[in-house]
Structure 1
């Protein structure tokens, strides 16, 4: 310690600034009086330097607002109203690093670890699946990840920032829900519905992605736990499940813990409330799924157009239910160059997508089901009574943009029988 005491204060401050994270900085500052005295003089400057290695300036405004949301007092509608009007109304993006106190940095870094985990996990999982990776077998409809990790593309810095900002926004939504009754949350709902459309898109995608990320752990308890079997707890099937919304509303810290569980006991500790009837899991209402469904008609809700990346014409094409599959691969988080490489933004790609959907709809109306490809319709499963008729009918396949357009023009909507007049 004597050697540390003999170092110039500037050297001690520089050593402190080399700490890998805020918890390490705190430990080092408290390790001896020499480091503590050096830290007290430049607390904010040193802490800000350490935080700059984790939270990028383009994301720090979101991190600060999420931190403020986590500190809202429970069941205080006035505090919620002030938070909405003061914190959430601040729309300017901070381009230069803010000064962090150690207390704020410790809390913000804890949340950042969850944000960073999910931004990396979700982006890399999606990049290992279709449409970014093509399954080895056409017979395999699963979305299993590619095993060769080294061959997978990696998310760009801009893409990771989109994930991080949307995850902070998710946390901003979940904190007031956990802490406040929201019976009179008009200011909150008004703020939510005024979010930019691309942020609503990102929340819609996250609602889907996070549900499917944690559902296996929840469903494991549903299938194995004695009490939940007696209660008749339902499986989480998709993001519309009230039980899924209840789990999501607990925030990223809980979701991170659930995602890392591997055993029944670990999942029981996090998700199980008890074995009495009053401990039965209950669903949540008024959280993300309901908020997205209640957005005005001028916003997409869960229809997912690529407004930030596409022309208005193409956005109108995508603003339809048939393109909800885009949500499964988180299209709104990716760079334009990556989407263009997939053909997702080209007119050719849009026409083919529409034609493929129309062709599958025609097959379904004729009784077909199963696996289909534009280049191979032999694996479509037909009912026995349809097989002979199907053999006689040539299946049409569009192999070009013009062919797809001609095919769409040739589709006919079945006539609907006229409704008989009342009393006839």
Structure 2
């Protein structure tokens, strides 16, 4: 039997191109010298692997997110220049792939793995909420279409772009941009695409609330600080991930929730309800994104939800939380029609898991008092209603030193 090292380089590089994920390239090259030599003859294989992993449509977003993370200083001019290239000339960004070094490919691949996981988790969670109580034959296992997968991933890429570009100044990164720059970012999206950002935001906060609940509800020192772990959204800055990490990692605040709930100034005076806009009117207003995503599913779902409301209220309404939990503006029109989703969406509860779960506010405030009492006596650690067995008390020697 012929050894694999005897295969021609054309065959080896062809196999490499089908690795599917850029993280597999380095182990492959370290396998033997022949593989590495074949790669040196055809270094473009790395870009081919990444493009296959990220998909051609999302490559410009992947590169934009990478460049946004290195933008310093983040001036309004620099931010708009990057975003204009992404939205009007995405091919210019995509062309940079062929001249980028492999370490940057690894960063982009790692980011896409995270984006892919979030997109898969959100779509799966949404489909579970939709299918509860519905006939199994119509709502069996979810398989996203190519355009649905693109929409979910694009929303999380855009959220990451916002967090990277519009965070306040930090010790290592100077920011100088205005509210106009933020408004310009959102103006590049149709309103149903901004509602996709709202859905991604809600899902991220749900994950954060679940991940942080145990420590926020039981840590003695956090109880002394009175950190609210139940109130969602912009009314509770303490539970936002970047606020919690700010003191440890120097991360500036990124107020995506506030940005989504505060419309541009020109929209405030527009009292015309959506129902009075024709499809042609909306096509004229929001033609920017049609070249990226021409499927009418997101538009139809958004129009159903906001039909009676004026332009200033076309995203991130609290009473649409249940719809956003079901990712209502992410599905293709074919799925909407096949499963009758628009009629289901009309009867969806306003609340979501994020808004309705664990709302024992009295218990939370009582825990603040108990944990504060323990903290003032020098105790630290994990408090619970079952007792203080997991509280760490200062030693007598330590108390004498403090005294």
**What is the TM-score when the length of structure 1 is the normalising length?**
0.60
Alignment RMSD, CA only?
4.2
Distance 1:307 1:127 in 2: 15
Map 1:377-396 → 2, pairs under 5 A: none
Match of 1:21 in 2: 21
Alignment-derived partner of residue 308 in structure 1:
299
Corresponding position of 1:225: 219
Q: CA separation of 1:310/1:121 partners in 2, compared to 1, >3 Å: closer, same or farther?
A: closer
How far is 1:332 from its partner? Answer: 0.8
Q: Which residue of 2 aligns with 1:328?
A: 325
Query: Residue 239 in 1 paired to residue 233 in 2?
Result: yes
Asked if 1:194 is matched to 2:187, the reply is yes
- Could you give the per-residue CA deviations for residues 117-168 of structure 1, whole angstroms, max 9, x where no partner exists? 01111101110114x32289xxxxxxxxx9xxx9433333321211000010
| Secondary structure of 1:43 counterpart | coil
Q: Post-superposition shift, 1:337?
A: 2.8
Identify the residue that residue 121 of structure 1 maps to in structure 2. 121
1:47 match: 46
Q: What stretches of structure 1 of length at least 5 have no aligned partner?
A: 137-145, 251-270, 358-424
CA contact (8 A) 1:17 1:49 kept: yes
Match of 1:61 in 2: 60
Query: 1: CA distance between counterparts of 2:64 and 2:274?
Result: 25
Q: Which residue of 2 aligns with 1:338?
A: 335
Distance 2:221 2:341 in 1: 47
SS at match of 2:227: coil
The equivalences for 1:207-286 within 5 A come to 207-243=201-237, 246-247=240-241, 249=242
Contact residue 228 and residue 239 of structure 2 kept, 8 A: no
Q: In the TM superposition, what are the counterparts of 1:62-141 in structure 2 within 5 Å?
A: 62-73=61-72, 76-78=73-75, 81-92=77-88, 94=91, 99-100=97-98, 101=100, 102-130=102-130, 132-134=131-133
**CA distance 1:334–1:299, change in 2 (3 Å):** farther
The DSSP-based 3-state class of the residue aligned with 1:334 is coil
Which of 286, 298, 308 lines up with 1:317 in the alignment?
308
Q: Deviations over 1:302-333 (max 9, x none)?
A: x9998722696885236676555322322111
- Secondary structure (helix, strand or coil) at the match of 2:232 reads coil
The offset of 1:191, in angstroms, is 2.4
Q: TM-score with structure 2 length normalisation?
A: 0.63
- How many correspondences in the alignment? 308
Distance 1:289 1:160, change over 3 A: same
Deviations 1:62-105 (A, max 9, x none): 112112112223xx134x63132234443245599754542332
| Matching residue of 2:155 | 166
CA contact 2:274–2:307 (8 Å) conserved in 1 = no
Helix, strand or coil at the partner of 1:158: helix
Structure of larger gyration radius: 1
Normalized per residue, the structure richer in helix is 2
Quote the Cα distance in structure 1 between the aligned partners of 2:209 and 2:49: 35
Unaligned runs of 5+ in 2: 276-296, 351-403
Alignment deviations for residues 356-405 of structure 1 (CA, whole Å, 9 cap, x no partner): 99xxxxxxxxxxxxxxxxxxxxxxxxxxxxxxxxxxxxxxxxxxxxxxxx
- Seen in structure 2, the aligned counterparts of structure 1 residues 152 and 237 have a Cα distance that, compared at 3 Å, is farther
C-alpha separation in 2, matches of 1:332 and 1:214: 22
Q: Whole-Å Cα distance in 2 between the matches of residues 272 and 226 of structure 1?
A: 18
Partner of 2:299: helix, strand, or coil?
coil
Q: 2:33, 2:26 → 1: CA distance?
A: 13
- Matches of 2:85 and 2:4, distance apart in 1: 47
- 1:304–1:324 contact (8 Å) kept in structure 2: no
Is the contact made by 2:64 and 2:161 (CA closer than 8 Å) also made in structure 1? yes
CA distance in 1 between counterparts of 2:81 and 2:94 reads 24
Query: In the aligned structure 2, how far is the partner of 1:311 from the partner of 1:7?
Result: 55
Higher RCO (CA < 8 A, seq sep 6+):
2
